[in-house]
Structure formats: C-alpha cells, structure tokens
Chains A and B, each alone.
Chain A
Amino acid sequence: MNRRTFVNVFLGGSLLGTVVSFLYPVIRYLIPPRQAESAAKRILAAKVGELAPNSAKLFRFGSTPAVLVNTAEGQLRAFSAVCTHLNCTVRFEGDTGTFYCPCHNGRFDLAGNVISGPPPKPLQAYEVEVSGGDIYVSRRA
C-alpha cells in the first residue's frame, strides 16, 4: 500500500466512522422505547344484569378494546374487539347476532369465527367468569 492509498483509506475510514457515530444515536432516538406490555390479565368487564340478552358491551382490556356479549340464549362470551383483518374495532349487531367490522365488511359469529369477508382468522376469545355480582374477563392461559 502506498502512502496516498493509506491516507485515502485512513481519511475515508475516519469520515465513515464519524458519519456512523452521528447516525447511530439518531437512529436509536427515532426507534420508540419499548413500553411494558399492559399487565391486564383479568379485568372486571361488567356487572351481572348489566347486559340484556342479545346485547354487547365494549370495554378496555389492556391497551386494546374487547367485547363482552350476552347471547340471546343468555350465554356470556368475550372476545378481543380487534378485527383480525386490518385492526378495526368490530361492533355487535343484534339483528343478525354477529360481530361486524365496517372497515372491510368482515363478519364473525358469536363464537368469533369468520362468517364472511376478508378476515383471515377468528376473533381472539377470552375466558368469562362470574364471581358474585361481577363479570370478569381474562386471557386464556
């Protein structure tokens, strides 16, 4: 290696090193800091008797919306209300007894299964537990 090449490599390498040392903190700064996952494992969703048959209630489960439904037969079921297609929040439709996502017309039955539309997966189901006068919803183990 002659002196010119050495100087070029040395100066070029130093310049590259300087650029990287400036860019690295900027890139790390731009990436959002990891936040602790919501600790919600079990949540009080409603009171017994709050939901009439064939009606539903949206509630906050951790950082996402969830839905508790009282079926026409009086069964309590809970699901994540986040549509598995593209993240919209589903709504309960009493007349059809289904969950409907208005974003791309996805429809789920009351077991969370896809009936029609583009959602690729069923709604995530949660456990429902009645304790005294309270209805608790928890993630399935």
Chain B
Amino acid sequence: MASLWEKTQAYLEPRFELSAILDFAKKKKVPEHKLSFWYFFGGICLFLFVIQLLTGILLLLYYTPSVDAAHESVQFIMSQVRFGWLVRSVHSWTANILVGVIFIHMFSTFFLKAYRPPRELTWITGFFLLILFLAFGFSGYLLPWNELSFFATRVGTDIAGVIPFVGKAFKTFILGGPEVSGATLTRFFWLHVAVLPAFALLIMGVHVILVQTLGMSKPIGVGETKEISFFPDFILKDSLGWLIILAVVGAVCVFLPWEAGPKADPFASTPLGIRPEWYFTFMFTTLKLVPAHIFTIEGEMLAIMGFMLGGLVVMLVPFLDRRAAREKKSPVFTAIGLAILLYIIIMTALTYLAPNIGK
C-alpha cells in the first residue's frame, strides 16, 4: 500500500512537475576546491532573511507605529508578551548578523572575482540587496522610538539631505516633513514592512535565479575540480551552516536580549556616547574626522560624495575590471577591495576603541 507521502507526491506531481525541479537540482553541480567554503555565505544570507521575515511577521502582532505607542508597544513585547523578548531579540540580532554576513558574502565574491562575465547582473543585484538591507536596518532602527534611534535617524536623514540636487526633496520624502516626527515613524514603518520587503523579494528572486542558472563561479586559475551535486550534497552542507548560525543567534538572544532603551524625547539633548548601528559606524567616524571645510566645500558633503563614489565603483566593478573579464588576475582590483575593506575595519574599530576621536 502506498504511503501518505507517496500518495501526496503522486497527487502533486502532475500538477506542479516537482520532479523537474528536483532533477535540475540534482544535475546542477557545485565545484569543490580550497576556496569553496565562501560559497556558503549566500545561503546563510537567505536563511537569515527567512528568520527576519518570520520574526517580523510575529512582531507586527503587537507593535504600534505611532509616537505615543511605539516605544510602549516594544516594552510590552519585551516584558509582557510570552517569548516576546525572544522574538524581538532574534529579529534585532539576526538583522545585525545578516548585514555582517552580507558584507562577508560581498567581499568574498569580490576577492574571488565572481563578478566577471556572465555574472555581472548577479553582482549588481547583490549590490542592490546590500543597499536594501542597509535601508532595512536604518528604517527598523527607528521603530522602537528610543533616544539613540531618534538621533541616529536625525543624523542619517540629514546626510541624505546633503546629496546634491535631489537631497532636500528626498529628505522631506523620507521624513514625511521637515523634521523627524510621527510622520517619519509611519513612513519608516511603511518602508520597513511593505516597500523594502517587496523589493527585496523581487531582487532576491532575480539574484537566486541567476545563481541557479549560471552556477557557481570558479576563481581565476582554478582548473578542473571535483564537483558535488547541488541537491542533496551542497544543500546538506549549507544546512549545517544554517544550524550553526541558528545556534549562535539562539545563544546570543538568551544571554544578551536586545534592549528597548529610553523613549525618545525630541526636545532633549543628544545623549553622550551616541552612535549608529555598527555597520554605519565607519561612515559615522569618518564624519567626525573630516574638517568643517576642505577648500571651499563643506567637509561632510565631500565625505558623503566620497562614499557614494566608492559605492558606485563597487557596483560597477564587473565593467571596470577588464582583466578579470578576460580570466586574467587583476591585482589592482584586489588592492582596491583590500583598501576599502581595511578602511571599513579600521574606522569601525576606531568607533569603539577611540570614541573621543576628533574631540
């Protein structure tokens, strides 16, 4: 007698042709070499995104996006709702870990030169995903309406306002007015739970389809290698990484639950020791160190333009690195990548090790 599983399969097969997908996954090969460890970080990003989606949906049940109730609702989640502290801590910690893993994924892809043809669009969609997830982090940070997030949002949106030509209009658009207010909270909530997830799912879909159809890139100079099947071998190895990450998230949330912080008071002084989420600190510390004026241009404007230019170079690297496109080593781009990475690491470290820098 056929088991329930077999009956279900027999029912679904003619309707969804699942075996075709499975055949594709079995036929798809993943190269195995000394650097294939870095392939796993993309899957970890996807896994963490799913956690974000699920915990975000749970938080929506109790969170209220208004100035009078946002902070109170977060405190309610943390102190009254059963396992509310766990759900919110998992959401906040995973968000931070996810941005970190996206950076690792991006830099490893960069150094392996996986952006070379025909994977230029995979790289560009990945870059957009990085920007989207930074926007997720920035918009989500304000939602508890605590004093750190309030002032971080004031600074962050003011930075957006410095962008030439479109900055002021963009700032008004995201703030919902001239200042950070209740309208800003509503807009950030709207971005965080509706707009950004829609774009993220769309771009992530394209990114994953490209990865699946083009397969994994082999680093330059790696010839014939052993290959493993995507399903089940690679997926099984990938899921080991997911389990490790899940264990780390669980442990961190239990020992270091995410705090709600004091409620924001728009008419109080900025608290001492203020700093944004860690992934923005390299820009934050740069802005501390840049002088008020460089020649006749305001220092902050120059720094922000520098970051935008850096981002543009990173985004367009598949078209700039012509040597890699010809399967030749491109040490200049490796050096540029290393310089950017070192800059981010040093500035981030300075934020925590020398908070009074530039004082």
Contacts and interface: CB of A to CB of B under 8 A. Distances in A.
Interface stretch (B125-133, B135-143, B153-161, B246-254): B153-161
A63 B308 CA distance: 31
Nearest to A119: B292
A120 interface: yes
Nearest to A82: B154
A58 B268 contact: yes
A102 B276 CA distance: 12
A137 interface: no
B176 A89 contact: no
Interface in B236-272: 266-272
A65 interface: yes
A14 B288 CA distance: 53
Interface in A82-127: 83, 85-92, 101-105, 114, 116-120
Contacts of B226: none
A58 B159 contact: no
Q: How large is the interface on A (under 10, 10 to 19, 20 to 34, 35 or more residues)?
A: 20 to 34
Interface in A49-102: 58-60, 63-65, 81, 83, 85-92, 101-102
Name the residue in B175, B177, B269, B300 with the highest tally of chain A Cβ atoms < 10 Å from its Cβ: B269
A102 B273 contact: yes
B287 A118 contact: yes
Shortest Cβ-Cβ A-B pairs, 7 listed: A91-B269, A87-B158, A88-B270, A105-B359, A86-B158, A104-B288, A32-B176
B269 A86 contact: no
Contacts, number: 91
Interface of B: 151, 154-155, 157-159, 172-173, 175-179, 181, 183, 266-274, 284, 287-288, 290-293, 298-300, 356-359
B269 A85 contact: no
B292 A105 contact: no
Given A105-B359, A118-B288, A85 B173 contact: no
A21 interface: no
A29 to B, nearest CB: 12
By DSSP majority rule, is chain A's interface helix, strand, loop, or mixed? loop
A63 B178 contact: yes
B274 A88 contact: yes
Contact of B270 (A59, A91, A117, A119): A91
Contacts of B299: 118, 120
Given A32-B173, A104-B287, A105-B359, A90 B269 contact: yes
A35 interface: yes
B155 A114 contact: no
B287 A101 contact: no
Contacts of B292: 114, 117-120
Contact of B155 (A87, A116, A117, A119): A87
A102 B176 contact: no
